[in-house]
Structure formats: structure tokens, C-alpha cells
Structure 1
Amino acid sequence: MQREDIEAVYEIELLSFTTPWSKESLSYELEQNLFAKYVVVVCDEKVVAYCGLWVIMDDAQITNIAVHPEYRGMKIGESLLTFSLQLSKEMGATRLSLEVRVSNHIAQSLYKKLGFEPGGIRKGYYTDNLEDALVMWVNLV
């Protein structure tokens, strides 16, 4: 991800999440967070998906991942997640985690397909409705 991608990534945030990250947060992640790595998918010269990772020592975490609604159902998310797994491994991570809404069964199915397993619940994790988050993990070694 480059600075010029922030506007498109922010648009995807707005279309995908009830509590989207701000442009300022995305900018901070890109320019100041030494643990962060963001990747984008570009189709027809347009950013259509992105994934944010934090890699701290041997632990990686997906901070956010989303596909523009017009491009969903095309396996872009699966390809992006597969790439992110490989990138995490290349950056020295031995495991990767993420949080997903307990009601988001579509995302959970994708994560399970790629080897993620449930690891716990974060009660009231989502601030918009206090929905629980399912923590999922995958070993990268």
C-alpha cells in the first residue's frame, strides 16, 4: 500500500465496516507503525481490496481485511488472505491470528478453509453493538 491508496482503502472501510478506521489511522499505520504491513489488490487500476498485518517478533495479526462490495464473490479475499499468510511467514511469524464477528459465518468459513482454527472469544469486542469476536489462529510452520 502506498500513501495514494489511503483514500481508496478508506472507501472500502466505509463500505465494509460499521466502525471503520479513519484516514488518519490508516496513514499512521502506513507511515509510522514499524510493525505494520499493508497490501492492496488492484484491478483495472483501482484498489479493490486490502489487508493490514502487524508482525511483532514471531506473532502476526491481521488488523483488517476487506474487499470492495462490487468485487466480492470473485475469490479476491481468498487470494489476498493466502498472500498475507505467506507474507507473514516471510516476515518471520510462526502464527497468525485475527478477530472476526461471531455472526460473520462467511468470513469464518474462509478462514477455516485456509487453516485457521477458533482459539477463544473476546466478549463485547465490537464497540458498535458489543458483539463478541471469535479469535482464530493458524500455525505458519
Structure 2
Amino acid sequence: MEHTSMHVRIVPMTADHLDEVAELERICFSTPWSRNMLAEELDNALSAFLVALDDSGKVVGYAGLQVVLDEGYITNVAVRPECRRQGVAGKLLQVFLDFAQGNHLAFLTLEVRASNYDAIALYGSRGFRSAGRRKNYYEHPKEDAIIMTKEFEYGTETADTGTAGDGV
């Protein structure tokens, strides 16, 4: 779990952050997204990418979200190794959780390496639960992904307002 809290500012990712985010991808992932892939997400109306900036303005973490209808897919969460366990990922994740609730998303979901116990614990502490496994999802090394999902409930008042036969 998180030990200390690092002061960061969470802001939307811009083209100015691409070099640092691409570097973070190379540091954190065995199959990193390229700078061009990240740049394409800036123009994707369904995507929202955030960066966590330290007091000097350096990118110490980032996260990506794609929203399709009322479904949220967290595509990336990465934090510089020397900045981990200081609350950075939790702060990025909280922005997406607040967004999901504010926009009435049905759920947020993500994949995480089965051996990434710290990330699994973080997501679990925020209400995500294991929803399945993707065999051999990751390469280098080959490993399963745990699918983790957090569902949002918005009361039964909206679910029971239709009449019989609606949508059939």
C-alpha cells in the first residue's frame, strides 16, 4: 500500500508531455506504446489521458481512459519507479473514478499483470474486483492478465421507469 503521499498536480496530457510519457512507457512496460500511439490518443474523442506532474513540472505518472457509451476502459497506468508507493497512481485513478461517477458510467475496467500485486491491491482498495483472466495476455514475459472491474450503481429509480416491452 501507499506509504507517503507525493505532492503532484493532475492535468490533461498535452503534446508537450509526449516525450516524457513515451519514456515512462519504455521504463514501465515490456511492450510500450510508442510516442505516435500516444499522440494519436490526444486526437481521439473517446480517450482521456492524464499526467501527474511533480513540483518541478516533470511527468512522474500518467493514466489513460477510453469511454465507449457508458463503459470506461482504463488503458494505461504508469508511475516512475522512484515515485511508486507515494499515492501517485491512486490520485490518477481517483480522477477517473470521479469522472465515472459524475458521468454515470456503468463500470470501469482494466487488465493488470497477474504478478503485479501492488497494482492489484491498489485497484482492490478502490473497489475493483477480479472479473476474469486473459490467458497469456502479456508478452515479455508471457503472463496472464487479471481483468478487474468496478461497477457503479445509480439506484433503482431509473431502472424501473420503463414500461413492459420497452427495448424488446
Q: Smaller-chain TM-score range?
A: over 0.9
| Alignment deviations for residues 97-137 of structure 1 (CA, whole Å, 9 cap, x no partner) | 00001111111000000000000011111132331100000
Q: Do residues 34 (structure 1) and 37 (structure 2) align?
A: no
User: Among the aligned pairs, what percent are the same residue?
Assistant: 39
Alignment correspondent of 2:80: 68
Alignment correspondent of 2:67: 55
TM-score, normalised to structure 1, is 0.94
Alignment correspondent of 1:22: 34
Q: How many angstroms apart in 1 are the aligned matches of 2:27 and 2:19?
A: 12
Q: How many angstroms apart in 1 are the aligned matches of 2:104 and 2:14?
A: 23
Structure index of larger Rg = 2
Aligned ranges 1:1-141 → 2 under 5 Å: 1-31=13-43, 33-43=44-54, 44-141=56-153
3-state DSSP of counterpart to 1:14: helix
Structure 1 residues not aligned, in runs of 5+:
none
| Alignment deviations for residues 9-35 of structure 1 (CA, whole Å, 9 cap, x no partner) | 11111111111100010011112x221
More helix by share: 1
Tell me how large the CA RMSD over aligned residues is: 1.2
Moved more, 20-29 or 124-133: 124-133
